[in-house]
Amino acid sequence: MDRLIHGLPVVTGPQWPGIRYFCTTRGGGAGVAPHDTLNLGLRAGDEPGTVLENRRRVRAAVPSDPLWLRQVHGSDVVDADRASADEELAADASVTAARGRVLAIMAADCLPVLITDLDGTVVGAAHAGWRGLAGGVLERTLDSLRAKAPGALGWRAWVGPGIGPGAFEVGADVRAAFEPDGPDALAHFMPRPGVPGKWLADLPALALLRLRRAGVEDPQASGLCTVSDPGRFFSYRRDGVTGRMALLAWRE
């Protein structure tokens, strides 16, 4: 659903006990084309001062300094309760059990994924492109959350805006990365008509499949495609040089 938070147009999902979260869009910032306007990525080719101003605007909408990561399309998970918000650690997910500790995941086609327990006592955020997804970033995030909340009664997840199944053309290497997941995963690769060796992959569906297999009872997806909505979302696949949005999540 669309909301306006501290003047920022954002997208969020189901409202669950104990946590708050939202995904920024490309609106509400200070940037100019092709990073117009709320680019939050320092490594996206934008003016650093503009990015810092955009991050300042996001900071005003959350209870503490976000833990920004240097995302590398891997599966490493940071314990945000032991990390400083001043350092950009190389990882693609973070978890916390502390109230008001803000996690941040940037994306511009890859999936931003939120995971929490039913009571909202822990929360995790992950960056899941196809490499990270196939490499187990969601499972490792859930393992880290289980270590923090061994008595959790169950798990929920929300898959935010990302590249949709009609836009994600992939080659044999991507399909092969999911072959170990079996027929249920390969069913989410549709042959591209008239283009031998190419498939259209449903990345959100693959994420939901992996979440369910890992033990998340209630995984949900936004259903929003970044590529097909240029007025609202940045998209690296569509534009090449572009900005980055962010999922922000924290415990109340």
CATH for 99: 3.60.140.10
In which region does residue 23 sit, left (phi positive, over 0), alpha (psi from -120 to 50) or beta (all else)?
Answer: beta
Cis check for the bond before 17: say yes or no (omega within 30 of 0): no
**Mean pLDDT, 10 residues at a time, the chain of 252 residues:** 94 97 98 98 96 98 97 97 86 98 98 98 98 98 98 98 97 97 98 94 98 98 98 97 98 97
Whether 109 and 235 have beta carbons less than 8 Å apart is answered as yes
- What pLDDT is attached to residue 1? 84
Asked if the structure places residue 244 within a domain, the reply is yes
Is position 203 within any domain?
no
Strand order from edge to edge, sheet including 199-201: 169-170, 199-201, 189-191
- What pTM does this model have? 0.96
Q: What pLDDT, on the 0 to 100 scale, is given for residue 26?
A: 98
Q: What is the pLDDT of residue 87?
A: 78
SS3 110: coil
Side-by-side strand order, sheet with 245-251: 2-5, 8-11, 19-24, 245-251, 103-107
Per-residue confidence (pLDDT) for residue 178, from 0 to 100: 98
Q: Which domain holds residue 42?
A: 2-163+218-251
Within a domain: 110:
yes
Q: Total domain count for the chain? A: 1
Structure tokens at 72: 């590398």
Q: Is residue 208 one of the residues assigned to a domain?
A: no
